[in-house]
């Protein structure tokens, strides 16, 4: 009884980021029905479903804090939900299926997609029945689909905390600072458990009838990023525990890996600035530089490190990220003093997602920009030539780009990339400014090839018994890019639904 109380407070405190991690006393063995590796969005959803099903459940979390990337998600995807029906959002499973399949040129796992789409509305109901609250359905895009179900307070941490409390109240265990290290596989190739280690280095053998891998992908593993992603410098936004452990275990167990080159692209971020200093609600958090991130995001001139314009700057996040990948993953926003004044006096027209409201007047531009200059990601110069020198661009190329932009602005016609003319701005009146950006990802989305029950498959299509892969450890949904602007919130939805649905399958698997 005392032990249960300790566990509950450890995980709940961990969710709040202030826990002293729970350490088990010495090498030991546990026998459970379901062992879940990773206590993020997918892991706690699987844990919730597992304790509801009456399974003896343990969740292992590598960090001292639970939640992973799930603490950062703002909203989750569904189609045909109660909230969408109430608001007359005109999409249904069939329409969405065709739209997504077309976007990915039918190079993705259609069966898994369809099975998941059909369940997403029921999963919203399931979350609501478990006390998760939504603020409504939104889209961050002008012509978006309104698939993004926003969590109360704009943060998925509300789901993480709520589920963690309920899991422990129902007898499930969440062991923080206890990374899984390998799978136990019997001579028939069936997965029968997990070997983990706690903070004190004690080995923990967990014998389990089913194992669910939910370690959140590999965005924080620089070697894997270099090996698989198109831009080796991709930095990861959010939780640091996502180092590809689960994917490596799945591969060792014989799973085929798919979509390993794709990420949930977060666009250009201030180069070298830690996530916490630039990502967060304007004015409310420590995200000091979120307005500079918003300035970088505005649909004005962007150029490659050589000084060439490379895309329509109004493109959705995944398209502008693709274009930036093509030029090496880094780019600059370049503007003149008139645009600076416009941002200060008239505001940042597009804001930055839920963090900077559209139209926010950038009144502290000069102060923040000056700090950016000192930190080396902002540049100011009296001439285009000097700006090119400071940023390392080719002066002639940058001058040519600027001249062309000025001509197109005068003509009110972008005959290069056909951006809406309302976003054309001259770069004529000094001083001139540049902000350096580099690509970040919210999460990687490649992983084990899974069937519609989230069972990983070998390259010859055989199921690996006793094993499930969910969330960012399960691939198959994306061909060459994430599909944010037609299906906002799919990454977390794939994880949460994977948690619920893999346990549905475990119920039948364990009966056999």
Ligand X SMILES: Cc1cc2nc3c(=O)[nH]c(=O)nc-3n(C[C@H](O)[C@H](O)[C@H](O)COP(=O)(O)OP(=O)(O)OC[C@H]3O[C@@H](n4cnc5c(N)ncnc54)[C@H](O)[C@@H]3O)c2cc1C
- How far CA 223 is from CA of 197, 218, 227, 243, 321, in Å, comes to 23, 9, 6, 10, 21
* Residue 79 found at the interface with ligand X (CB under 6 A): no
Instruction: Count CB atoms within 10 A of the CB of residue 292.
Output: 25
Torsion angle of C-alpha atoms 156, 159, 162, 163, degrees rounded to 10: -130
Task: Please identify, among the stretches 95-103, 111-119, 419-427, 490-498, the one whose residues bind ligand X according to the rule CB under 6 A.
Answer: 490-498
Residues 144-203 that bind ligand X (CB under 6 A): 179-180
Q: How far is the CB of 340 from ligand X (least distance, A)?
A: 28
Residues ≥6 apart with Cβ < 8 Å to 145: 89, 91, 96, 139, 486, 487, 488
| Among 231, 300, 442, 454, interactor with ligand X by CB under 6 A | 442
**Dist CA 174 CA 11 (whole Å):** 6
Q: How far is the CB of 279 from ligand X (least distance, A)?
A: 6
Question: By beta-carbon distance, which residue lies closest to ligand X?
Answer: 40
| Among 22, 48, 58, 63, interactor with ligand X by CB under 6 A | 63
Residues 449-488 that bind ligand X (CB under 6 A): 471-472
* Residue 218 found at the interface with ligand X (CB under 6 A): no
**Dist CA 199 CA 154 (whole Å):** 32
Nearer to ligand X, 262 or 408 (CB): 262
Total of chain residues touching ligand X, rule CB under 6 A: 41
| Among 492, 501, 502, 503, interactor with ligand X by CB under 6 A | 492
Q: How far is the CB of 38 from ligand X (least distance, A)?
A: 3
Q: What is the DSSP string of 410-448?
A: HHT--TTT---GGG-----SSSEEEEEEEEEEEEE--EE
Judge contact between 455 and 468, C-beta under 8 A: yes
* Residue 237 found at the interface with ligand X (CB under 6 A): yes
Q: How far is the CB of 276 from ligand X (least distance, A)?
A: 10
**Dist CA 39 CA 501 (whole Å):** 17
Nearest to 206 by CA among 52, 58, 62: 58
* Residue 35 found at the interface with ligand X (CB under 6 A): no
Nearer to ligand X, 276 or 376 (CB): 276
Nearer to ligand X, 241 or 267 (CB): 241
| Among 50, 109, 239, 298, interactor with ligand X by CB under 6 A | 239
Provide the mask over 353-392, with x wherever binding to ligand X is found by CB under 6 A and - wherever it is not.
Answer: ----------------------------------------
Judge contact between 179 and 213, C-beta under 8 A: no
Nearer to ligand X, 63 or 113 (CB): 63
Judge contact between 38 and 61, C-beta under 8 A: yes
328: left (phi over 0), alpha (psi -120 to 50) or beta: left
Q: How far is the CB of 312 from ligand X (least distance, A)?
A: 24
Pairing mode, strands 134-138 and 148-151? antiparallel
Torsion angle of C-alpha atoms 331, 336, 342, 344, degrees rounded to 10: 80
* Residue 262 found at the interface with ligand X (CB under 6 A): no
Residues in touch with ligand X (CB under 6 A): 37-43, 60-63, 68-70, 72-76, 179-180, 214-216, 237-239, 241-242, 245, 264, 279, 442-443, 471-472, 489, 491-493, 495
């Amino acid at each position: 009884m005392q032990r249960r109380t300790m566990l509950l407070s450890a995980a709940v405190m961990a969710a709040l980021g202030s826990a002293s991690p729970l350490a088990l006393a010495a090498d030991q063995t546990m026998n459970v029905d379901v062992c879940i590796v990773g206590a993020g969005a997918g892991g706690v959803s699987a844990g919730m479903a597992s304790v509801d099903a009456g399974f003896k459940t343990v969740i292992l979390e590598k960090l001292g804090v639970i939640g992973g990337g799930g603490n950062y998600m703002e909203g989750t995807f569904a189609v045909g939900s109660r909230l969408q029906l109430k608001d007359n959002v005109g999409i249904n499973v069939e329409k969405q299926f065709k739209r997504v399949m077309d976007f990915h040129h039918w190079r993705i796992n259609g069966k898994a997609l369809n099975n998941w789409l059909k369940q997403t509305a029921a999963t919203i109901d399931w979350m609501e029945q478990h006390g998760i609250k939504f603020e409504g359905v939104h889209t961050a895009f002008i012509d978006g689909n309104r698939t993004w179900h926003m969590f109360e307070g704009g943060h998925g941490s509300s789901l993480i905390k709520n589920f963690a409390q309920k899991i422990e109240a129902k007898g499930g265990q969440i062991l923080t600072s206890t990374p899984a290290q390998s799978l136990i596989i019997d001579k028939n190739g069936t997965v029968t458990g997990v070997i983990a280690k706690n903070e004190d280095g004690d080995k923990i053998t967990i014998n389990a009838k089913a194992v669910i891998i939910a370690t959140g992908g590999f965005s924080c593993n620089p070697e894997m990023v270099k090996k698989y992603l198109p831009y080796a410098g991709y930095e990861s936004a959010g939780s640091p525990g996502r180092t590809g452990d689960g994917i490596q275990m799945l591969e060792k167990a014989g799973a085929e890996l798919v979509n390993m080159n794709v990420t949930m692209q977060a666009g250009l971020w201030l180069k070298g600035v830690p996530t916490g200093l630039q990502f967060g609600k304007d004015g409310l958090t420590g995200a000091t530089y979120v307005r500079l991130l918003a300035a970088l995001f505005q649909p004005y001139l962007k150029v490659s490190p050589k000084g060439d314009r490379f895309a329509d700057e109004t493109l959705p996040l995944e398209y502008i990220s693709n274009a930036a990948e093509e030029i090496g993953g880094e780019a600059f926003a370049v503007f003149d003093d008139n645009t600076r004044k416009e941002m200060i006096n008239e505001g940042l027209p597009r804001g930055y997602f839920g963090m900077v409201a559209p139209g926010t007047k950038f009144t502290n531009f000069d102060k923040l920009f000056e700090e950016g200059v000192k930190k080396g990601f902002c540049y100011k110069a009296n001439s285009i030539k000097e700006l090119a020198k400071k940023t390392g661009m080719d002066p002639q190329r940058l001058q040519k780009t600027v001249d062309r932009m000025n001509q197109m602005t005068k003509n009110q016609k972008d005959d290069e990339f056909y951006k809406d003319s309302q976003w054309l701005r001259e770069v004529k009146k000094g001083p001139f400014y540049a902000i350096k950006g580099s690509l970040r990802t919210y999460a990687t989305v490649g992983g084990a090839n899974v069937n519609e029950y989230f069972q990983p498959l070998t390259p010859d299509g055989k199921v690996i018994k006793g094993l499930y892969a969910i969330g960012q450890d399960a691939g198959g949904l994306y061909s060459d890019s994430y599909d944010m602007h037609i299906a906002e919130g799919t990454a977390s939805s794939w994880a949460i639904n994977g948690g619920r649905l893999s346990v549905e399958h475990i119920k039948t698997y364990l009966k056999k």
